[in-house]
Structure 1
Amino acid sequence: MSYYRRVEFDYMDDEGEMADVVDEMDEEYYGRDDGEAELDDYDMLTKAIDISSAQARRGTDIQGIPWNRLNITREKYRQTRLEQYKNYENVPSSGEVIDKACKPMEKGGNYYEFRHNTRLVKPTILHFQLRNLVWATSKHDVYLMSNYSVIHWSSLSCNLSEVLNFSGHVAPTEKHQGSLLEGFTQTQISTLAVKDNFLVAGGFQGELTCKRLDQRGISFCTRTTYDDNAITNAVEIYDSLSGIVHFMASNNDCGIREFDMEKFQLLNHFRFPWPVNHTSVSPDRKLLTVVGDNLDALLVDSQNGKTVATLNGHLDYTFASAWHPDGLTFATGNQDKTCRVWDLRKLSTPVAILKGNLGAVRSIHFSSDGKFMAVAEPADFVHIYSTTVDYKKRQEIDFFGEISGVSLSPDDESLFIGVWDRTYASLLQYSKRHSYGYLDSYV
């Protein structure tokens, strides 16, 4: 992963956020001599209001953007974004090669429907390449990063609460071997993972902070490395075969580390020739997908860290991976704008090459029933592919803003999308569509 500490937001500010459209209104409203009325009009364009599914059905923009009062149509602005958005590449022109070689899969799927847009929630991003900062633990409960805070949003009670604040001093209240009892100060959180009652936050200096959500205080703090390039790029929490919850941290120092979440002890430390951007564990816990600053992805034995297979085909660095529940299929997401789906039984060629619209694939999630795969670009688009028709049909969720993270609830009933934008930051919620027959009314 590119090691940028202070240019992340400058990079994203250049990408034509919705605020730029609103900025075009400044001259029209602020340039007049009419006074307060025009300021009120401007405020009406930018004030935070939630949007419900009923409003969306009546034609209201899901983000509350008043297109009828702007000097540009939604269609025109979408075309401008597609033409001007700058996809970050480590390998020059990797996206252009894909654009010429691949076409997007057919649209027309309708698997999740818009339910609510919450403007009260303000997701943020610290590093432009790391977008795993939104996690749903139920169809109503979401955890995400907002500046220095881990916050919890309940879509049921519409309550927003702070879980952890990293702007000051954070220290463990439990004693475990290897834990830094002095804790950390002003930790910059680069990645987050939440599952059931466990939370793990990774930092820019290799920090790991672990918390049990059903208990007060922090359980464990450690610094995985003191390497100059120490960013924690990704964390995955999973149930081990023994029944104990484990987590795995992928790091820019070219290593992945496995910990248990009972005593918080380091179980494995595997090293690779390049920075590791993401790791995911197979359902049978025997294999790992390891991806990073390399054109090839790896399949690795989870017990000894040895490479089992090398996956060729991507043209740039890879930042996302995920396993299908069947344990045979997995996917990798790359800065070349593609998500590639692989089958363990035939690794020579991918099952599918799925091209994005705008930029890199930053996160991938399979539904727990295995019927869908959610693929998030860095901004504006989340694609829901149907696995039952070999990924040949997709639903395209279309909005404006950088994506801080995407999460499916454990029961697949809700899909949450964190949108980072100077003006229209929010949390989008979608609900799974169901088709009920006549006889279902008797159940």
Structure 2
Amino acid sequence: MEDDYEMGAVEDYLDEEFLEGRIGHSESDDEYDRSHDNASDTSSLQARKGKDIQGIAWDRLNITREKYRQTRLEQYKNYENIRNSGEASEKECQPTEKGGMFYEFQRNTRSVKSTILHFQLRNLVWATSKHDVFLISHYSIMHWSALTSKEFEVMNVSGHVAPSEKHPGSLLEGFSHTQVSTLAVKDKLLVAGGFQGELICKYMDQKGISYCCRTTHDDNAITNAIEIYDSDSGPVHFLASNNDCGVRDFDMEKFQFVKHFRFSWPVNHTSLSPDKKLLVVVGDNPEGLLVDAHTGKTVQEMHGHKDFSFASAWHPDGQMFATGNQDKTCRLWDVRNLSKSLAVLRGNIGAIRSVRFSSDGRFMCMAEPADFVHIFDVGSGYTKRQELDFFGEISGMAFSPDTEALFVGIWDRTYGSLLQYTRSRTYTYLDSLL
């Protein structure tokens, strides 16, 4: 995984168009700033009446939405570690039918500012219910309630953070000025990973921090991904994937580090199968690995991607999994035959940096670095999809556990927000009443 990269903001181009498009040029910059600050949320009703879901005032610009979309498609530069990987993968992609309506736009909340600290790591939005969302906003980990439209700070890591409990192996002195690279939330447990290998664990129903540790003192120690899971024996565990080529397993009942699997390249993402027997491991190598979750031994390699991978996810049935890559594709795999991927799905402008399946297994969601999230109908063989189209870098996305909601975090200096979508339902039993 690379250390730095410059992300572009939507406002850089739109601001220029806004300033050129004003009637005359007598207005002050202060007035221009106020016009941005006063931008309001957008509801589903307003969107149906024609309001832009992000509140972008296209009628005041010198460019239409359609023209700007075309400009972004032509000019957005996808980051590649292996040159021309996006072109090399294009011929293998299967055609898909756009136009599905699986999730409907519900609300865009401008007051929720979801931010990104590393351009390749986009797992910074998590939902624990259809109303409760957790995300990173600068140095704060925030809880947003879609029910009350209120935001609460769960943790602030800009200063000193230290555990309030004593456990063997916990770093009692804690950390200062932590840069959060990744996040995971499940039920009541929140785990944040940092650029220096930091891990900070907090139970949301308890005061203070439960556990802090540094996975390694290696110079290349960034925590790339975290997965929380319930072990077969009962206690909650989590897996940490690190740039030092390691995957580590932690027991949150005993607050102990219990396993360490080592690989030959930096691990960017790891996913545990529903039966807890297999791990998908992807990272700074075009090949992915299927690994025995108990021993760390490689079961089989997956060949097909042209660049480095940063996302993976298992279908709930435990037979299929997906991998997302900087070659602009998401590949679907059948664990019973890994000689070739089942399907190759392509994004519009960039790498597939996040992949999620809905808990009922009906949908798979994949997010590009910016502007597009694609929802695929699994039952159609991934041939039917819905395209969520907006502007801005994507900090993360999450289905709610009951599949009723989908949240997408947008990072942009002006148009940053949290998008909320609701599961589309057709109540055919009501037809007889009409």
TM-score of the two chains, using structure 1 as the length reference = 0.95
What's the counterpart of residue 25 of structure 1? Answer: 18
SS in 2 for 1:26: helix
1:364 aligns with 2:359: no
What's the counterpart of residue 313 of structure 2? Answer: 322
Name the CA distance, whole Å, in 2 between partners of 1:127 and 1:31: 40
Name the CA distance, whole Å, in 1 between partners of 2:424 and 2:272: 29
What's the counterpart of residue 2 of structure 1? Answer: 2
Which residue of 93, 96, 104 corresponds with 1:113? Answer: 104
Deviation at 1:44, TM superposition (A): 2.6
What's the counterpart of residue 397 of structure 1? Answer: 388
Name the CA distance, whole Å, in 2 between partners of 1:101 and 1:286: 30
CA contact (8 A) 2:22 2:61 kept: no
What's the counterpart of residue 428 of structure 1? Answer: 419
Name the CA distance, whole Å, in 2 between partners of 1:326 and 1:339: 19
Aligned pairs for 1:4-403 (under 5 A) are: 4=4, 8=5, 11-13=6-8, 17-27=10-20, 29=22, 32=25, 34-35=26-27, 40=31, 43-45=34-36, 47-102=38-93, 104-403=95-394
Deviation at 1:102, TM superposition (A): 3.1
CA contact (8 A) 2:315 2:321 kept: yes
- Residues 39-62 of structure 1: CA deviation (Å, up to 9, x unaligned): 546633553310000000001010
Percentage identity across paired residues of the two chains: 66
Counterpart amino acid of residue 2 in structure 2: S
CA contact (8 A) 1:104 1:356 kept: no
Q: Which moved more, 1:340-349 or 1:307-316?
A: 340-349
Deviation at 1:100, TM superposition (A): 4.8
Deviation at 1:422, TM superposition (A): 1.2
Deviation at 1:3, TM superposition (A): 2.4
Deviation at 1:263, TM superposition (A): 1.7
- For structure 2, the residue ranges without an aligned partner over 5 or more in a row are none
Deviation at 1:349, TM superposition (A): 1.0
- Residues 202-234 of structure 1: CA deviation (Å, up to 9, x unaligned): 000000000000000000000000000000000
Deviation at 1:99, TM superposition (A): 3.4
Deviation at 1:19, TM superposition (A): 3.7
Name the CA distance, whole Å, in 1 between partners of 2:24 and 2:265: 53
Name the CA distance, whole Å, in 2 between partners of 1:371 and 1:312: 26
Distance change in 2, residues 1:55/1:30 (3 Å) = closer
Distance change in 2, residues 1:371/1:28 (3 Å) = closer
- Residues 147-170 of structure 1: CA deviation (Å, up to 9, x unaligned): 000000000001111000000000
CA contact (8 A) 1:45 1:66 kept: no
Distance change in 2, residues 1:293/1:332 (3 Å) = same
Distance change in 2, residues 1:399/1:377 (3 Å) = same
Distance change in 2, residues 1:435/1:28 (3 Å) = closer
Name the CA distance, whole Å, in 2 between partners of 1:30 and 1:265: 64
Deviation at 1:30, TM superposition (A): 10
- For structure 1, the residue ranges without an aligned partner over 5 or more in a row are none
Name the CA distance, whole Å, in 1 between partners of 2:243 and 2:36: 41
- Residues 166-212 of structure 1: CA deviation (Å, up to 9, x unaligned): 00000000111100000000000000000000000000000000000
SS in 2 for 1:295: strand
Deviation at 1:68, TM superposition (A): 1.0
Counterpart amino acid of residue 80 in structure 2: E
SS in 2 for 1:12: coil
Distance change in 2, residues 1:28/1:436 (3 Å) = closer
Aligned pairs for 1:411-426 (under 5 A) are: 411-426=402-417
Name the CA distance, whole Å, in 1 between partners of 2:404 and 2:372: 20
RMSD: 1.7
SS in 1 for 2:394: strand
Deviation at 1:135, TM superposition (A): 0.3
1:437 aligns with 2:428: yes
